[in-house]
Structure 1
Amino acid sequence: MNQLFGAPRRIHGLIAAACVAMLAFGMYLQHVVGLEPCPMCIVQRYALILVAVFSALAAATGGSGLRKFWGFVALVFAAGGAFTAARQSWLQWHPPEFASCGRDIYGMIETFPLQRVVPMIFRGSGDCSQIDWTFLGLSIANWSFLCFVAFGLVFLALLFQRQRRR
């Protein structure tokens, strides 16, 4: 196990690169395949961007304490992304009786105050319960959940890793 987590800066860099690859694939699905992201998908994208940014900061940081801080912040956003993906997966498995497309996330933010927008996003809509793409029987939200959980577990392992003596 020590061999796996012996290079925390490299691991943070790999996670940041994986996040960028996932974001690029999301852009491919949107702009080439033609899938429009729902509000929960947008929130997951922002969480993925923030995980990438803070993981990259952790990779670029020389000191162990500051690296753990950036790793903890990345862990918080990975948990938020996992929560959003889990909620969307639940909506896909248990779609609302009355599917309404609702507004897009930008329309909600422009029209309503933030304290009303956040519950509206997590309430979901017909868009969020729709499954447009699958791979190995899992939807995009399912894959997103698995990736966020994997990132979170790695961040936790790195946070609780003992400092090596030189």
Structure 2
Amino acid sequence: MRTLSPRLMLLVLGLLCAGSVGLALLAQHRFDMQPCPWCILQRILFIVLSVLALVGAALPGNLGRRVLSALSLPLALGGIAAALWQHFVAAKTSSCALTFADRVNSYFGLDTRWPEWFEVRANCSDAAVSVLGVPFEFWALALFAVATVVLSISVVTSRRA
């Protein structure tokens, strides 16, 4: 049985992360599922992971790919933590103001540069919605977990492809 090359896995991961942001924007603008600070933080992490995975897939050789994958791992793990925090803590509160996610969003100023993508439009309890019976943040959690596995494989695999 032939396994997928790390380069192909990074390419697919980059496309999945970009696609998840596209789906989040579709949910926001077409189906009125407004994002909270934790949603926006995860959106930012998916964008950065997408860019790093796509660059890693495009790099010749495997050293650059392995380095970018290693640098990306904390982002994927942070995404897991953010999704879990959103579900088990933030969604149970009426305000997300001044949380870690809110501070990160404010620090980068993305909400003022590109409000249609990064502006917080709901508090955490109002943003707690489900898609196909699964909380929205658990879909993100699953993709962050996949990213963690793919990036880990990419770091430890020395195969060229």
- If the TM-score is normalised by the length of the shorter chain, which range does it land in? 0.7 to 0.9
C-alpha distance in 2 between matches for 1:69 and 1:101: 34
Task: Decide which of 88, 106, 113 is 1:109's aligned counterpart.
Answer: 106
Deviation of residue 131 (structure 1)? 5.1
Q: Is the 8 A contact 1:88 1:129 kept in 2?
A: no
Post-superposition CA distance 1:105-140 (Å, at most 9, x none): 48x827xxxxxxxxxxxxxxx822345431342111
C-alpha distance in 1 between matches for 2:153 and 2:125: 33
1:115 maps to: none
Task: Flag structure 2 segments of 5+ consecutive residues without an equivalent.
Answer: 108-121
Question: Aligned with 1:35: secondary structure?
Answer: coil
Alignment map for 1:1-150 (pairs within 5 Å): 3-5=2-4, 7-91=5-89, 95-96=92-93, 99-100=94-95, 102=97, 105=102, 109=106, 127-130=123-126, 132-150=128-146
Question: Aligned with 1:128: secondary structure?
Answer: coil
Q: Is the 8 A contact 1:82 1:148 kept in 2?
A: yes
Deviation of residue 27 (structure 1)? 0.5
Change (3 A) 1:151 1:100: closer
Matched, 1:160 2:160: no
TM-score, normalised on structure 2? 0.77
C-alpha distance in 2 between matches for 1:46 and 1:34: 20
RMSD over aligned CA atoms reads: 2.7
Deviation of residue 21 (structure 1)? 0.9
Task: Flag structure 1 segments of 5+ consecutive residues without an equivalent.
Answer: 111-125
Question: Aligned with 2:124: secondary structure?
Answer: helix
Task: Letter of the 2:136 partner, please give it.
Answer: I
Q: Between Structure 1 and Structure 2, how many residues are aligned?
A: 144
Deviation of residue 83 (structure 1)? 0.9
The higher relative CO (CA closer than 8 Å, separation ≥ 6) is in 2
Q: Give the percent of matched residue pairs that are identical in Structure 1 and Structure 2.
A: 24
C-alpha distance in 2 between matches for 1:69 and 1:127: 37
TM-score, normalised on structure 1? 0.75
C-alpha distance in 1 between matches for 2:55 and 2:96: 37
Change (3 A) 1:40 1:101: closer
2:110 maps to: none
C-alpha distance in 2 between matches for 1:100 and 1:74: 30
